[in-house]
Amino acid sequence: MVSGPPSAGSAVTTSAKATNSVDNMQAGQQLQDRSIGDSIEILVDMDGCFCGHQFLVIGECSFLFKLESGKTVCKNDEHVAWRWVEEAEEPNNYNGLSLNSPNNILPIAEKLNRAISLRSDSETCTPDDDDMWRFVEDVLMKALLKHWGDGSFEPTQHGNISAKRDLENSLRGALAAELRSCKPNYKLSRQETSLLFSVWADALYSGVHDGKPMISLGEATMCLRNFTLSF
């Protein structure tokens, strides 16, 4: 271990990007399985961590996973120094559905919004869409700002981690703690999480080029917002 609503034009543009993102994924393509947002358990005492301790994974590079504690673990040490924590998965409605359909993103994006906005057991009524989004947007902005360190992020290739994967990992890492703390009935399954973050990152990355290498907080949040408006 080592230590306001979007314009019609923007909605249409994001809809097209998201549709292309899903179309680019062939049915059966492997999405990220166990990765950022999951937890690991330490198997041996080392470097200030003790056997049985569990940590949330919030980032990765070619050879390491970054943990919420500020520590890292070597990927090659899986089953020796650490293991993935097995968590019960609730059945979902996505088994057998084609990953090619952009309509699959809508209910997952809406579920994420509910997961973020309805986190208290005392909340018995659902806010209207605008009120819900204002709260979700605030949470997203704060989480991304904390993870990125400023108001933008530049996807970069790190070894065998592509720039697009780097972006997806950053989105996952920023929201990992939020998703971990949501109510069980709004918790995204591993398949839902993989599909949503993959399409979200793909839609954002399609707008990155030499003249515009950065993605802003506003772009990231409105891209997610448009997933619930465009289909």
Return the minimum-mean-pLDDT range out of 10-14, 125-129, 158-162: 10-14
Question: Which of the listed ranges 32-46, 154-168, 178-192 does the model predict with the highest average pLDDT?
Answer: 154-168
Q: Quick check: pTM over 0.85?
A: no
Confidence band (pLDDT; 50, 70, 90) for 184? Answer: confident
Return the minimum-mean-pLDDT range out of 30-34, 36-40, 50-54, 194-198: 30-34
DSSP annotation of 91: P
Average pLDDT in the chain:
80
Return the pLDDT at 87. 76
CA-closest candidate to residue 186, choices 101, 126, 102, 228: 126
Contact residues for 207 (Cβ-Cβ < 8 A; gap 6+): 17, 215, 219
Place of tokens 């070894």: 159
**Do 117 and 127 contact (CB within 8 A), yes or no?**
yes
Return the pLDDT at 199. 93
**pLDDT above 80 for 143:** yes
Better pLDDT: 32 or 228: 228
- Dihedral sign for Cα 193, 117, 106, 157, please: negative
**pLDDT above 80 for 12:** no
**pLDDT above 70 for 165:** yes
Better pLDDT: 10 or 133: 133
Return the pLDDT at 90. 58
Report residue 74 as tokens. Answer: 């070597």
**Do 176 and 56 contact (CB within 8 A), yes or no?**
yes
**pLDDT above 60 for 95:** no
Distance CA 61, CA 65 (A): 7
Confidence band (pLDDT; 50, 70, 90) for 65? Answer: very high
DSSP annotation of 122: T
Return the minimum-mean-pLDDT range out of 40-49, 124-133, 204-213: 124-133
**pLDDT above 70 for 132:** yes
Place of tokens 């470097």: 47
**pLDDT above 80 for 6:** no
The arithmetic mean of pLDDT across residues 67-85, rounded, is 92
The arithmetic mean of pLDDT across residues 199-227, rounded, is 94
Q: How many residues does the chain have?
A: 231
Report residue 175 as tokens. Answer: 């929201």
Task: Count other C-beta atoms under 10 Å from residue 137's C-beta.
Answer: 19
Domain ranges, ordered by start, for the chain: 1-87+98-231
The arithmetic mean of pLDDT across residues 40-57, rounded, is 91
Distance CA 106, CA 113 (A): 11
Return the pLDDT at 98. 47
Q: At 210, phi and psi to the nearest 5?
A: -60, -35
Percent of the chain with pLDDT over 90: 49
